[in-house]
Amino acid sequence: MQDFIEKIYKAVAYERKQGFCDAQGNKFNFSEFIKNETKILLEKIDNPNKKTLLKEIEKTFDSYPEASIFERKNKIKSLYDYIEHLEKNQPLNKPIIKDTTKSYDSTLKQTNKIDDKNLTWEERPVQFIKGIGPKLAENLASAGIINIKDLFRHYPRKHLDYANRTQIKNCKIGQLVTIWGSIKDVNCFTPPNNKNITILSITVSDSTGKVKSSWFYGGANKYMQEQYKRRFPIGAQVLLSGEIKLDKYTKSFAIDKPEVEVLGNVDIDEVDSIHTNRIVPVYPLVEGLNLKWLRKTIKIALDTYSNEIEDHLPKWLKEQFNLFDLATSIREFHFPTDMDILEKARHRLVFDELFYMQLGFAYRRKQEQLHVDGIVFENTGTYVNQFLANLPFKLTKAQENVFKEITKDLGSPKPMSRLVQGDVGSGKTIVALLALLIAVQNGYQGAIMAPTEILAEQHFRKFKEWLEPLGLKVDFLVGSQTKKNRREVLDNLLSGATHVTVGTHALIQEEVNFKNLGLVVVDEQHRFGVVQRATLRGKGKNTEILTMTATPIPRTLALSLHGDLDISVIDELPPGRTPVKTVLIKGKGREKGWELIRDEVKKGRQAYVVFPLIEESEKLTAKAATVEAEKLQQKIFPELKIGLLHGQMKNSQKDEIMQQFVKHQIDILVSTTVIEVGVDVPNATVMVIENAERFGLSQLHQLRGRVGRGSDKSFCLLVSDKPGEISEKRLEIMTKTNDGFIIAEQDLKIRGPGEFLGTRQSGLPDFLLADLVRDTAILEEARNAARLVIEKDNELNFKEHKLMKS
């Protein structure tokens, strides 16, 4: 199962990179690959719920090749959802796939009633365009293209430069070329030495020479082979683009898997110029429509209606940010004059997508500042000073700065909306505590919510240690408490006896009520949903919220997700830490790893050995970890004390094991990923991660952050027996840097935003063109522009800003 998921994710990442073109892999196209992997897993699995889910995946990807980019993205989104259901073994209540096609019929009926003169160009149904009748309109509607505006937004998935064609005799090996010729021969067969593949090959010639092109498919029957061949009628004109190679057997030129466009039976001079002799757009296909027809239709629509496009951005903004106007951008993005202009057109269109997202954020932020009241925490004094005086170390500069920003937020009547990002071990807990002290100082209660009981328990212990000397009462609320204990805590919260509460999700249950909750801190905030955060905040009046995360989200994502938040970064680790030395270990190298643990334990240190989630269940994972723990105990470290921690254990058991590890009654803690977040045992100096290739980089970084928390040199061993090329590259990044932000950036580049964040919390808006990995610079511009606009005119009432409102 885990293998399946990893393969699928990799394929999606690749497909994404290729611009959702149903990319050709070694053996299959993307969609064929997904279906094939699904089929293989289907045969292995008995669980009826999972079977249903897998069948849904198959069904979803059946129509992928015909789908528009928009639909393809949607399909991939539902794929993530299905996988999430699979992982949790949740039944499918309703079909996940979102039906994006509006009903063509109803739109048409509506529009028929209205005189067409009253319609703006955008609203006019596509049937207004010459050559589109009901049948074609229906085909377009199936891809969500109802009106002219939709048609303009059916953006090319790429462009091919046919302006620069090469004669075959002038081709050079390794050169990227576009060739125009006619099909001389077409062949489709299964080679006798490999029954699993099918080869399709064509020979194309112009007046100066011949070129051969081949495609490889999964095994196909005779019927399919005939279908493949029919794409290439002999004698038809074609354009081929790709890299020139030398064919091993014939010693003539070849282009493998070229971009190809069959022009049909035309005389070269007569070919409509929008398809040739220029940079031409390649559109995502719409079922029942061919590319050339689509190209022509969009051209006609642009010629007829693009003059009517009103630019919604004010002139000052376009000038300041050096943007093309909208009509030009749309025209040029479809049919570019040259590659530079294409880039500028794309820039403007991407800017628009990002700008409106940011405008929403800027607006909400402003509204909140104007209309929602926050508490004014005026008094910052005594507790904070006492606490700092008791602290055995000094705050880092970064901690001080962030605390200053927080103090300012708290002291102002505007509600705080701040996210503190800080790498693992950067000392976020103390900053949170300081903020809570200010709330208490001003007569309010404070609460901090953590995603796991282990973590909450750890915070609780520290908070008690720090706060009790100040005469403050700390309470603890989690799911696994006894009824009596819980009752007591609830009473304390309500009476106001408790100053600061530490807890898990248990804090947001209905029967939890506070006397006067002034500030909540949400630790590892990305583990909680928006609603959960809001619920906690709703436990008080005008309660302020501080969110924290150790997952360093790359800035582009942070801005796209939390554009309305202020972001503070603790970008410095407390002094005296030596960076964790990270090594990638394959196969036999493991022995050395055990040696290292033995040495460290001799010096009085401790170690973790972590196993990934395997196959489909926590249960199996727990079992595997158990077996390994026994093996380590009996065969490898008979002289050492080994403990075991996994998700199937009762909370009280988990706590006990953690306590033993903290007190150094355990030398080696064998664990699943339950220890991932926030666990702090400074005496641990070795982290061994088994099957490291199965983790995301950010997760590895989190795990690695469990060591290197004291002043001793620490080690992280990433064990991977057959990493494969991509995984190896990923893992090497870990060995090269300890900087969580760099790792996150790389992880994002490799996996793409959806997978990087996971679907559940992704919450990213849909973009047609914008790419959060590639378009960082444009995103920053868009954010600046949006804030500028809102600063100038917070309700968008100026005449020149009116069009931005919709």
352 half-sphere exposure, CB direction, 13 A CA radius: 22
Select 593 or 678, whichever has its Cβ closest to Mg ion: 678
CA dihedral (308, 311, 312, 314) positive or negative = negative
Q: Which stretch binds Mg ion (CB under 5 A): 556-564, 630-638, 670-678, 721-729?
A: 670-678
Q: Which residue, 73, 21, 13, is CA-closest to 749? A: 13
Q: Which residue, 516, 512, 496, is CA-closest to 504? A: 512
Q: What is the CA radius of gyration of the chain?
A: 31
Q: How far is the CB of 521 from Mg ion (least distance, A)?
A: 11
317 half-sphere exposure, CB direction, 13 A CA radius: 25
Select 545 or 782, whichever has its Cβ closest to Mg ion: 545
For residue 305, give both structure tokens: 């209606």
Q: How far is the CB of 140 from ligand ADP (least distance, A)?
A: 53
Q: Which stretch binds ligand ADP (CB under 6 A): 63-71, 90-98, 231-239, 424-432?
A: 424-432
Q: How far is the CB of 644 from Mg ion (least distance, A)?
A: 24
- With CB under 5 to 8 Å by kind, the binding choice for 546 among ligand ADP, Mg ion, none is none
- With CB under 5 to 8 Å by kind, the binding choice for 642 among ligand ADP, Mg ion, none is none
Select 38 or 702, whichever has its Cβ closest to Mg ion: 702
DSSP string, 317-376: HHHHHT---HHHHHHHHHS-SSHHHHHHHHHHHHHHHHHHHHHHHHHHHHHHHHHS----
Q: Which stretch binds ligand ADP (CB under 6 A): 22-30, 101-109, 531-539, 674-682?
A: 674-682
**Does 678 contact ligand ADP by CB under 6 A?**
yes
Residue 364 CA to residue 736 CA, distance in Å, equals 40
**Does 429 contact ligand ADP by CB under 6 A?**
yes
**Which of residues 79, 424, 645, 757 is near ligand ADP by CB under 6 A?**
424
**Does 698 contact ligand ADP by CB under 6 A?**
no
Q: How far is the CB of 424 from Mg ion (least distance, A)?
A: 7
Q: How far is the CB of 423 from Mg ion (least distance, A)?
A: 10
Residue 62 CA to residue 55 CA, distance in Å, equals 11
Q: How far is the CB of 702 from Mg ion (least distance, A)?
A: 10
Residue 18 CA to residue 447 CA, distance in Å, equals 46
Q: What angle in degrees, to the nearest 10, is found between the helix axes of 724-736 and 697-704?
A: 40
Q: Residue 89: which region, alpha, beta or left (left: phi > 0; alpha: psi -120 to 50)?
A: left
**Does 425 contact ligand ADP by CB under 6 A?**
yes
Q: How far is the CB of 431 from ligand ADP (least distance, A)?
A: 8
Q: How far is the CB of 603 from ligand ADP (least distance, A)?
A: 20
Q: Which residues, 6 or more positions from 742, have their beta carbon under 8 angstroms from its beta carbon?
A: 733
Size of the residue set binding ligand ADP (CB under 6 A)? 19
**Which of residues 124, 157, 539, 709 is near ligand ADP by CB under 6 A?**
709
Beta carbons of 299 and 334 less than 8 angstroms apart: yes
For residue 246, give both structure tokens: 């030398």
Residue 452 neighbours by CB distance under 10 Å: 23
Residue 752 CA to residue 25 CA, distance in Å, equals 18
- With CB under 5 to 8 Å by kind, the binding choice for 136 among ligand ADP, Mg ion, none is none
Select 154 or 701, whichever has its Cβ closest to Mg ion: 701
Q: What is the DSSP letter of 29?
A: B
- With CB under 5 to 8 Å by kind, the binding choice for 396 among ligand ADP, Mg ion, none is ligand ADP
Select 626 or 699, whichever has its Cβ closest to ligand ADP: 699
Contacts (CB under 6 A) with ligand ADP, residues 128-157: none
Q: What angle in degrees, to the nearest 10, is found between the helix axes of 30-44 and 2-17?
A: 170
Select 58 or 400, whichever has its Cβ closest to ligand ADP: 400
Residue 621 CA to residue 143 CA, distance in Å, equals 43
Select 393 or 798, whichever has its Cβ closest to ligand ADP: 393
Residue 66 CA to residue 60 CA, distance in Å, equals 12
Residue 192 CA to residue 372 CA, distance in Å, equals 74
**Which of residues 284, 314, 427, 451 is near ligand ADP by CB under 6 A?**
427
Q: How far is the CB of 550 from ligand ADP (least distance, A)?
A: 5
Cα–Cα distances (Å) from 113 to 108, 117, 492, in that order, read: 9, 12, 66
For residue 369, give both structure tokens: 């500042």
- With CB under 5 to 8 Å by kind, the binding choice for 399 among ligand ADP, Mg ion, none is ligand ADP
Select 201 or 429, whichever has its Cβ closest to ligand ADP: 429
H helices present in 2-144, as ranges: 2-17, 30-44, 48-62, 69-88, 104-113, 134-142
- With CB under 5 to 8 Å by kind, the binding choice for 430 among ligand ADP, Mg ion, none is ligand ADP
Q: Which stretch binds ligand ADP (CB under 6 A): 3-11, 422-430, 487-495, 596-604?
A: 422-430
Residue 323 CA to residue 346 CA, distance in Å, equals 10
Contacts (CB under 6 A) with ligand ADP, residues 358-397: 393-396
**Does 428 contact ligand ADP by CB under 6 A?**
yes
Select 429 or 671, whichever has its Cβ closest to ligand ADP: 429
Residue 312 neighbours by CB distance under 10 Å: 16
Torsions phi, psi for 608 (to 5 deg): -115, 145
- With CB under 5 to 8 Å by kind, the binding choice for 334 among Mg ion, ligand ADP, none is none
Q: Which stretch binds ligand ADP (CB under 6 A): 73-81, 84-92, 371-379, 418-426?
A: 418-426
Q: Which residues, 6 or more positions from 228, have their beta carbon under 8 angstroms from its beta carbon?
A: 188, 198, 200, 217, 220
Q: What angle in degrees, to the nearest 10, is found between the helix axes of 740-757 and 724-736?
A: 140
**Which of residues 243, 628, 680, 800 is near ligand ADP by CB under 6 A?**
680
Size of the residue set binding Mg ion (CB under 5 A)? 1
Q: How far is the CB of 535 from ligand ADP (least distance, A)?
A: 23
Contacts (CB under 6 A) with ligand ADP, residues 536-555: 550
Q: How far is the CB of 678 from Mg ion (least distance, A)?
A: 4
Residue 200 CA to residue 228 CA, distance in Å, equals 7
Residue 346 CA to residue 355 CA, distance in Å, equals 14
Q: Which stretch binds ligand ADP (CB under 6 A): 201-209, 279-287, 407-415, 675-683?
A: 675-683
**Which of residues 329, 426, 498, 560 is near ligand ADP by CB under 6 A?**
426
The string over 120-159, giving b where at least 16 C-beta atoms fall within 10 Å of a residue's C-beta and e elsewhere, is ebebbbbbbbeebeeebbebbbbbbbbbbbbbbbbbbbeb
Q: How far is the CB of 749 from ligand ADP (least distance, A)?
A: 24
Residue 792 CA to residue 363 CA, distance in Å, equals 12
Contacts (CB under 6 A) with ligand ADP, residues 31-90: none
User: Torsion over CA of 329, 335, 341 and 346, rounded to 10 degrees?
Assistant: 50
- With CB under 5 to 8 Å by kind, the binding choice for 426 among Mg ion, ligand ADP, none is ligand ADP
Residue 774 CA to residue 782 CA, distance in Å, equals 14
CA dihedral (778, 781, 783, 785) positive or negative = negative
What are the residues facing 237 on neighbouring strands? 182, 264
Select 284 or 678, whichever has its Cβ closest to Mg ion: 678
**Does 422 contact ligand ADP by CB under 6 A?**
yes
**Which of residues 643, 678, 705, 708 is near Mg ion by CB under 5 A?**
678
| Residue facing ligand ADP at closest CB distance | 427
For residue 505, give both structure tokens: 């999700």
- With CB under 5 to 8 Å by kind, the binding choice for 427 among ligand ADP, Mg ion, none is ligand ADP
Q: How far is the CB of 387 from ligand ADP (least distance, A)?
A: 13
Contact residues toward ligand ADP (CB under 6 A) are: 393-396, 399, 422, 424-430, 550, 574, 678, 680, 682, 709
Binding site for Mg ion (CB under 5 A): 678
